[in-house]
Amino acid sequence: MGDGFVIQSISNSSGNNRENSKKGKDKKKKKKKRGGSNKKMTTEQTLAFKSVSEWVFLDQPSALTSSAASCVVDDFGVQKALGRGGEKVVFELHSHSKCSDGFLSPSKVVERAHGNGVKVLAMTDHDTLSGIPEALETARKYGIKIIPGVEISTMFSPSGDSEAEEPVHILAYYSSCGPTRFEDLDKFLANIRDGRFDRAKNMVLKLNNLKLALKWEHVCRIAGKGVAPGRLHVARALVEAGYVENLRQAFSRYLFDGGPAYSTGSEPMAEEAIEMICNTGGIAVLAHPWALKNPVPIIRRLKEAGLHGMEVYRSDGKLGAYSDLADAYGLLKLGGSDYHGRGGHHESELGSVNIPVLALNEFLKVARPIWCSAIREIFESYAEDPSDSNLDKIMRFGRTRIFKGGSPLSCGKDLIDHCLPHWLTNEEMENPEFDAIKLKLSNISVIQGGIKVLVAST
Ligand SMILES: [Zn+2]
Ligand SMILES: [Zn+2]
């Protein structure tokens, strides 16, 4: 969300705070908690934890917990499972870098996430995947897993009536290899980014008409080179120019949805975005449904369009009403901090949202077969047509570097043998379709720009 002001920073005692807020309704429970805040996992949780950590530590088997029995859950009954060395398996599924309207570079976001104990980070910049390669590069240093993601700006129109349109953000999560049909997705996102330029220009124009002499150049300077300016960048320009005291005021006076300087861009319909996500091997999740005026019809329609899940967890806990809605429509229950790196007390910290291990397991149960097919599709198109552009698709987010003029021994099979163990479990790789692809690739030298290349690990 570009303008959410969600509360609470990371806190070890968040479980207790929540308990305190219930004013000790259940005395027995409270006493038990004082005796020791951790309890054993149920069998179901233990199995879920095993399965989740197997995926998290796929390419670092040494880090895999030897025994899930050493795991504990916190009072929230959830995720704070301790692996070997007392490490937590924390997922952060919603974060922004300065590739959209965040304040930190992708590397800094990864570093900060690592500092907070995050093991899996989804970078979900608005309408762009441009921060993913840098995030991946840094994540390798820290042994963090990156889920390539994007938060797509869309509109929802209840009855095709543009008057009642409402902005809706859809998160997309992709396999380690990225989306299939990358060009289609990229074009889709580029259209939205272009629309953002027009939208931001329009907002500046409206502010100028309100006698606020904000300069377009100022907004672009804040957004930074190559970054599509958004509402937050306009808000920051307003603060810097001294027209408002802080961001909150910029929104509450001028930029709120429907506000005097608000403007819409050329966002696609939410259903179109979901279709695009599904067609490119992604998982589609409704972001911050609590920001919607009328969530029920939106959720109903988007579920029909193929939506996989919705955010229901925040750093201040699970939102019961949204959790019930997710259950009612058979949607995955997820969440994340929506970290932008603004600083200040109101911002949720990276890794501060507790997602129960059972919910994470459900997420991976749905996502992994989809991601596995996506990876297969990407390799298949390379096996069919070993062109530069098809090789780029494997290399874009892959854990490989290519060295031109390297050993002529490397063939397409080496490439797939090198990549797959980082992305898939043995079980997933044992698919006969992968064997068929390998067979095809064993006759193909990896050639880029007419030069044989050596595929090497980094
Ligand atoms: Zn966001
Ligand atoms: Zn958002």
Distances 223 to 237, 258, 340, 436 between C-alpha atoms, Å: 10, 23, 13, 47
Q: Is there a domain that residue 290 lies in?
A: no
Q: Provide the token pair at 177.
A: 């290899």
Centre of ligand 1 from the C-alpha of residue 347, in Å = 12
- Phi, psi at 61, each rounded to 5°: -55, -30
User: What is the total count of domains within the chain?
Assistant: 1
Q: DSSP label at 28?
A: H
Q: Provide the token pair at 42.
A: 């149920």
- In the three-class reduction of DSSP (H, G, I as helix; E, B as strand; rest coil), residue 422 is classed as helix
Residues 6+ apart with CB under 8 A from 216: 201, 204
Centre of ligand 1 from the C-alpha of residue 171, in Å = 8
Stretch 334-346: mean pLDDT: 90
Ligand index nearest the alpha carbon of residue 153 = 2
Q: Is there a domain that residue 286 lies in?
A: no
Neighbours of 187 (CB within 10 A): 11
Ligand index nearest the alpha carbon of residue 169 = 2
Q: Is there a domain that residue 422 lies in?
A: yes
Q: Is there a domain that residue 275 lies in?
A: no
Distances 377 to 155, 186, 382, 417, 448 between C-alpha atoms, Å: 30, 18, 9, 16, 20
- pLDDT tens for 153-176 read 999 988 755 557 889 999 999 999
Q: What angle do CA 223, 225, 231 make, to 5 degrees?
A: 20
C-alpha to C-alpha distance for 91 and 142, rounded to whole angstroms: 15
Centre of ligand 2 from the C-alpha of residue 195, in Å = 17
- Asked if the model's pLDDT at residue 56 lies above 60, the reply is yes
Domain around 405: 372-457
Centre of ligand 1 from the C-alpha of residue 338, in Å = 5
**For position 130, what pLDDT does the model report?**
95
C-alpha to C-alpha distance for 72 and 41, rounded to whole angstroms: 6
Q: Which of 351, 445, 449, 369 is nearest to 407 (CA)?
A: 445
Q: DSSP label at 81?
A: -
Q: DSSP label at 127?
A: T
Q: Compare 70 and 252 and report the one with higher pLDDT.
A: 252
Centre of ligand 2 from the C-alpha of residue 437, in Å = 39
- pLDDT tens for 197-228 read 888 999 999 999 999 999 999 999 998 887 87
Q: Provide the token pair at 2.
A: 């570009």
Q: Is there a domain that residue 429 lies in?
A: yes
Centre of ligand 1 from the C-alpha of residue 442, in Å = 43
Q: Is there a domain that residue 263 lies in?
A: no
Ligand index nearest the alpha carbon of residue 125 = 1
Q: What angle do CA 454, 384, 389 make, to 5 degrees?
A: 55
Q: Compare 439 and 99 and report the one with higher pLDDT.
A: 99
* Number of residues written out for the chain: 458
Terminal-residue alpha carbon distance, the chain: 34
Q: Which of 203, 220, 221 is nearest to 212 (CA)?
A: 203
Ligand index nearest the alpha carbon of residue 291 = 2
C-alpha to C-alpha distance for 359 and 396, rounded to whole angstroms: 30
Averaged confidence pLDDT in the chain: 82
Centre of ligand 1 from the C-alpha of residue 129, in Å = 13
Q: Is there a domain that residue 424 lies in?
A: yes
Centre of ligand 2 from the C-alpha of residue 1, in Å = 2
Of the CA atoms within 13 Å of residue 334, those in its CB half-sphere come to 30
Q: Is there a domain that residue 409 lies in?
A: yes
Centre of ligand 1 from the C-alpha of residue 2, in Å = 6
Ligand index nearest the alpha carbon of residue 94 = 1
The confidence band for 76, taking pLDDT boundaries of 50, 70 and 90, is very low
Centre of ligand 2 from the C-alpha of residue 2, in Å = 5
The confidence band for 315, taking pLDDT boundaries of 50, 70 and 90, is confident
Q: Provide the token pair at 81.
A: 């499972």
307 burial (CB, 10 Å; 0-12 / 13-18 / 19+) is: buried
- In the three-class reduction of DSSP (H, G, I as helix; E, B as strand; rest coil), residue 82 is classed as strand
Q: Compare 71 and 202 and report the one with higher pLDDT.
A: 202
The confidence band for 386, taking pLDDT boundaries of 50, 70 and 90, is confident
Ligand index nearest the alpha carbon of residue 170 = 2
Ligand index nearest the alpha carbon of residue 286 = 2
Q: What angle do CA 28, 34, 37 make, to 5 degrees?
A: 105
Asked whether 342 and 103 are in contact (CB, 8 A), the reply is: yes
The β-bridge partners of 73 are: 39
- pLDDT tens for 115-128 read 999 999 999 999 99
Centre of ligand 1 from the C-alpha of residue 305, in Å = 21
